[in-house]
Amino acid sequence: MSDAEGLPASVPAAGDRRRAPAPAHLRFFHGPMDCGKSTLALQVDHNQSRQGRSGLLLTQGDRSARPRITSRVGLAREAVEVDAGTDLLLLVRTRWADGTRVDYLIVDEAQFLTPGQVDQLAELVDASHVDVYAFGLTTDFRARLFPGTQRLLEVADDVQRIQVEVLCWCGAPGLLNARVVDGQMVREGATVVVADTAPTPAPDSVAPDASTTVPETHYQVLCRRHHVLGLLGPGAAGPGQLALP
């Protein structure tokens, strides 16, 4: 099916370059919350579009609760909201059918992708030479890989752990995401509970299926030691533990 099959692996002559475009790549950038993922995603998009390339931005459950990629430093770009049922091949091919170029994809919140959707991204790379830049959380609040993250680690051409800007309250590098419900770190529950550190959502941002969200849930980045201990701050006692002096 791929038109690239059977071509020699050697560098083509100059006149042949159009027939054998530079190979595309699936690149995955991952880290804990607040590591600057979305900012990096928007930076990559900016750099690509400055080269005259046309991109499509995908996200799900962005903190703005709107189909946009937003970063905590105030950048924002319109994006297409996807969910677990979205056929990413069909999504891109529909754009092409409309006459819209898609040279690259920026996929934010890639941890929420299903393994099958990650395979679709790989197919877009290999069969259609679309560059894919995926950005996601490494682990969930139980310190386990998200399914989408696991599949990306398995099949991506290039994986980079984002250099962490965020620190645990103790000053050590932040590594793991803790889910905090009513002031207590929890280790059980649904893998995906989209909450945010934003104090109040915009009045018009109510998602139709957001009614089951656990009350007063937020996430906090901790070092590994304090994630294991369940300690959320210097004066906070972990479950069944005395506060440290």
109 part of the active site? yes
Is 159 or 180 the residue whose CB approaches Zn ion more closely? 180
Is 7 or 172 the residue whose CB approaches Zn ion more closely? 172
Is 179 or 226 the residue whose CB approaches Zn ion more closely? 226
Rounded Cα–Cα distance for residues 62 and 81 (Å) = 9
Q: Return the structure tokens found at 137.
A: 């959380």
Among the listed residues 109, 154, 165, 216, the single catalytic one is: 109
Is 168 or 178 the residue whose CB approaches Zn ion more closely? 168
Binding site for Zn ion (CB under 5 A): 168, 170, 172, 223, 226
Minimum CB separation of residue 36 from Zn ion in Å reads 19
Q: Which of 236, 244, 111 is nearest to 185 (CA)?
A: 236
The strand ranges marked E within the chain are 26-31, 55-59, 68-70, 76-78, 80-81, 104-107, 131-137, 158-161, 176-181, 184-186, 217-222
Minimum CB separation of residue 168 from Zn ion in Å reads 3
Q: Which of 189, 214, 105 is nearest to 152 (CA)?
A: 105
Q: Which of 73, 141, 89 is nearest to 111 (CA)?
A: 141
Minimum CB separation of residue 179 from Zn ion in Å reads 16
Question: What residues act catalytically?
Answer: 109
